[in-house]
Amino acid sequence: MKYFKDISVIIDPYLYIGGDFLNRNPEYLQCLGFTHILNVADSICPNECLIYSLRQYKHITAKDSLDYYIRHHFDEAFQVIDHARLTNGKILVHCKKGKSRSATIIIAYLMSRYNWSFSYAYWFVKSRRMNINPNDNFLRLLYEFDNELNRC
């Protein structure tokens, strides 16, 4: 399993993060039992073989840039992740390197669904995948999202 080191478990048994190499290895993903894929990269085309072997494959075109408003995709991404969780599935959220866009989506998901603060969700994901590095714009948007969740 030469690629397993590139997949990080966020919430066992259903939520994982990784990079785009997995999109090119459908057999490997099947061996690992993934039922859902959420691709949040802008330049990675969906793998046709992979699409037909899963319960759900969703490609959300998101740019990793300092002026991209990734929050437009939060609700759609959360629905895909929720579907995996509610159907006892196993989802891989990936972007190009598994560092910025996918990490941002997962951090926002944990903030929304687990009622975690931005700082706790960031720490939690970072403790499971040390190389996450959301860009400064995404960090700002996560901070704003945290403020809007209005936790008591």
DSSP per residue, 93-127:
EE-SSSSSHHHHHHHHHHHHHS---HHHHHHHHHH
Helix residue ranges per DSSP H, 18-117:
26-31, 48-53, 74-86, 101-113
Residue 95 is a catalytic residue: yes
The backbone region for 150, taken as left when phi is positive above 0, alpha when psi lies in -120 to 50, beta otherwise, is left
Catalytic residue among 31, 45, 49, 95: 95
Rg (CA), the chain: 14
Question: Which tokens in the block code for residue 24?
Answer: 């090119």
Tell me which DSSP letter residue 88 carries.
Answer: T
Catalytic residues: 95
